[in-house]
Amino acid sequence: MGRKKIIVTLVLTCLTLAVFSQQKDSVKVHLNHYTLTIGAGWTHYIDNLENGDKDIQKNFAGVSFKFYWEPEYRLSLGLESGYYQLFKVKGQLTDNTTVEVSRTVLPLLLLARMRIVDNVYLGAGLGLAILTNKSSGNNMKIVTKTTSLSNFELSGAYVYPLSKHWLVGGEVKMFHFGSLADWMYSVQATCAIKL
C-alpha cells in the first residue's frame, strides 16, 4: 500500500502541474536543437521482495544519460539510458557459506518531456531494460540476464541555464521494470549541453 501511495502522490502531483499550469511562457528558447544530459545521484529500490530480503541494501549511486531533440517550445523527444543498482542481499546457504545476490539495470527508454513552467519539466518514458542478476559466493559467480519489455519512467526536472549552451539542474524520477516487477526512484543532479 505504501508503494501505491507514493506512486499516486507522484502521479497526481505531476498531473496537477500539467493540467493546471499557466499557458504564459516567458522563456525564449532557441528552436530545433539537441541536448545531451548527464545525471548522477542517489537511487532507492522500493523493496517488494516477498522473501530473501533480510539484510537488503536498497540505496546506491546511479548515473543516467539522455539525448533530447527539442523541436519547439514545449515538447521534447529523447532517448535515455543509464546504470542503476537495485539491491544487494546476503543469504546463508550453509552454516559457513553465504551467498550475495545483486541486481542491476540498464534501461533504454524513449522519452517525451514537456516544459510546464519556466525551467520546470515533466517527462515520461517507455522502453526496454536489461536486468542483470549476479549471484556470488561458494567460489562461484552466476550471472543471469532478463530482458524486460514493459518498463516506464516518470520524471520531474528543474533545469537552470548557465549560459547559451550549458545547463544544470536536478531531477526526480521513478522507474518500473515490468518483467521482474521492480520499482525504484532516483534523485539526480544533472548537467546538460545544448548542441
Q: Which of residues 49 and 195 has its CB atom nearest to other proteins in the complex?
A: 49
Least distance (Å) between residue 146 CB and other proteins: 5
Q: For binding to other proteins (CB under 8 A), which residues are involved?
A: 4, 7-8, 11, 15, 19, 48-53, 87, 89, 91-94, 97, 99, 101, 103, 131, 133, 135, 138, 140, 142-146, 179-181
Least distance (Å) between residue 11 CB and other proteins: 6
Cα separation of 116 and 178, whole Å? Answer: 28
Q: Which of residues 47 and 170 has its CB atom nearest to other proteins in the complex?
A: 47
Which residue type does 19 have? V
Least distance (Å) between residue 70 CB and other proteins: 25
Q: Which of residues 25 and 97 has its CB atom nearest to other proteins in the complex?
A: 97
Least distance (Å) between residue 21 CB and other proteins: 13
Cα separation of 68 and 37, whole Å? Answer: 8
Least distance (Å) between residue 163 CB and other proteins: 38
CA dist list (Å): 179 to 126, 130, 148, 150: 13, 10, 5, 7
By C-alpha distance, which of 84, 81, 83 is closest to 125? 81
Q: Which of residues 15 and 77 has its CB atom nearest to other proteins in the complex?
A: 15
Which residue type does 51 have? N
Cα separation of 181 and 176, whole Å? Answer: 7
Helix, strand, coil percent content, the chain, rounded in steps of 5 = 10, 70, 20
Q: Which of residues 8 and 117 has its CB atom nearest to other proteins in the complex?
A: 8
